[in-house]
Amino acid sequence: DGKEYLLELPLRADVALLFGQTVDKAGNIVYYGATRNFNTIMATAADVVIVEAGNLVEVGEIDPNNVVTPGLFIDYIAVGGDR
């Protein structure tokens, strides 16, 4: 129709490194504070997603209402915790 449009390509990444306060063994993540701002966006934009778990728990120990990033997007879990 003779109109010009600006196309902005979506955010994309090869690898995303995330930190979750509590992560279950299925990869469901609960964040604390400002870490919830961009972690979910990067998890959906990256080809490979690695999350460092501050506290790794069994599946079912996280209330589903508190899950911010579902385990569907997570490829690898690294256990971190207190150092």
| Longest distance between any two alpha carbons in the chain, whole Å | 61
Rounded to whole angstroms, how far apart are CA atoms 75 and 33? Answer: 23
Question: What pTM does this model have?
Answer: 0.83
- In the block, tokens 């490979």 appear at 48
| Distance of alpha carbon 77 from alpha carbon 37, whole angstroms | 20
DSSP 8-state secondary structure symbol assigned to residue 7: P
Per-residue model confidence (pLDDT) at position 83: 47
* Model pLDDT, residue 81: 61
| Radius of gyration of the chain from its Cα atoms, rounded to whole angstroms | 16
Per-residue pLDDT of the chain (83 residues; tens, 9 = 90+): 889 999 998 889 999 999 999 999 999 999 998 888 889 999 999 999 999 999 999 999 999 999 999 999 999 999 986 64
